């Protein structure tokens, strides 16, 4: 067999393999781009449809009324909430998630505010919105006080659609 004929046959056999490999690399590149776009959109999308704490159905015992001084904010990482004791003696349980993108909100004692580390939204000790981009105040959890013990129902979140929607629980005097 002449050299020129053998070279053309080898090139013809390699062509389908080369097309297959090009197709495979293009497919993997497309898959990587789709995954990157999906991750970026998941990060940028405002909080999911589920309300924080929904479905957990936990009744969390925070402690005795007298263990919380007025004007303090106490974090409960296991319960995923903050318990704020207002100056007038009332209690408010606030979700730790920012209503904008769901980032965990730390309490900044020096500023007396919750400040979102993701986009700098700020909230006061009652969970009211002070600085945007968050669209509303922090979500609340119902608080009950029985026999001087504070309990928080983390299974029922209250969405703060209005600034005046505040669920404050006051201890009864005995």
Q: Per-residue pLDDT tens for 6-37?
A: 555 555 566 788 888 888 999 999 999 999 88
**β-strands 122-123, 113-115: how paired?**
antiparallel
Q: Give the closest residue to 120 by CA, choosing from 108, 134, 110.
A: 134
**Assigned domain for 174 exists:** no
> What is the separation of C-alpha 170 from the centre of its chain, rounded to a whole number of angstroms?
28
Q: 38 and 102 share a domain?
A: no
**CATH assignment at residue 71:** 2.102.10.10
**Assigned domain for 161 exists:** no
Domain range for 118: 59-153
In sign, the C-alpha dihedral spanning 144, 83, 138, 123 is positive
Q: 75 and 110 share a domain?
A: yes
Of 42 and 29, more confident:
29
pTM: 0.64
Rounded Cα–Cα distance for residues 166 and 12 (Å): 76
Q: 67 and 31 share a domain?
A: no
Q: 67 and 149 share a domain?
A: yes
Q: 96 and 146 share a domain?
A: yes
For position 124, what pLDDT does the model report?
A: 93
**Assigned domain for 76 exists:** yes
**β-strands 91-95, 140-141: how paired?**
antiparallel
Q: Do residues 95 and 81 touch, judged by C-beta distance below 8 A? A: yes
Q: 16 and 66 share a domain?
A: no
For position 139, what pLDDT does the model report?
A: 93
What pLDDT, in 10s, does the model give residues 109-159?
Answer: 999 999 999 989 999 999 999 998 999 999 999 999 999 999 999 888 888
Supply 35's token pair.
């995954």
Q: 71 and 40 share a domain?
A: no
**Assigned domain for 99 exists:** yes
Total domain count, the chain: 2
**Assigned domain for 159 exists:** no
For position 70, what pLDDT does the model report?
A: 93
Residue appearing with tokens 């090139």: 11
- Calculate the average pLDDT of the chain: 83
């Amino acid at each position: 067999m002449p050299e020129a004929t053998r070279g053309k046959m080898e090139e013809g056999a390699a062509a389908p393999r080369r097309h297959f490999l090009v197709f495979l690399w293009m497919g993997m590149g497309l898959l990587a781009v789709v995954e990157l776009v999906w991750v970026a959109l998941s990060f940028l999308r405002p909080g999911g449809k589920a309300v924080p704490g929904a479905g957990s159905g936990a009744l969390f015992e925070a402690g005795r009324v007298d263990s919380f001084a007025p004007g303090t904010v106490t974090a409960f990482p296991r319960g995923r909430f903050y318990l704020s004791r207002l100056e007038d003696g009332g209690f408010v349980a606030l979700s730790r998630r920012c209503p904008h993108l769901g980032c965990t909100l730390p309490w900044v004692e020096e500023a007396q505010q919750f400040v979102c580390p993701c986009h700098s939204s700020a909230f006061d000790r009652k969970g009211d919105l002070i600085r945007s981009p968050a669209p509303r105040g922090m979500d609340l959890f119902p608080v009950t006080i029985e026999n001087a013990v504070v309990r928080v129902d983390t299974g029922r979140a209250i969405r703060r659609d209005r600034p005046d929607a505040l669920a404050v629980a006051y201890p009864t005097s005995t």
